[in-house]
Amino acid sequence: MAGGGRIRFKVVAEQFLDTTPTGPNLAAGDSAVSDRKEGKIPYIVYGAINDQGLGLVSWWTNAEEEQEEEEVEEGEEAL
């Protein structure tokens, strides 16, 4: 899959890690700065695209267009 495509996803979980400073000793070891240096991320959103209508938007728009074309063709055959 090439990057840069629009996707639809659902949020399945959220995680918040409080990285606010704990006191006025900012110069002597700011915990928020040290947390960021250690790679701790303050807010994480977990998502999924493995459900009906989710995934690359182009998958579903192409499928809808094909379905509309089939319906038009069926209508023309009925005439």
What pLDDT score does 58 carry? 83
Name the residue among 39, 33, 1 with its Cα closest to residue 19.
33
pLDDT range class, residue 40, cuts 50, 70, 90: confident
What pLDDT score does 4 carry? 82
Q: Is the pLDDT of residue 39 over 60?
A: yes
DSSP states of 2-24:
-TT--EE-EEEEEEE------SS
What pLDDT score does 49 carry? 92
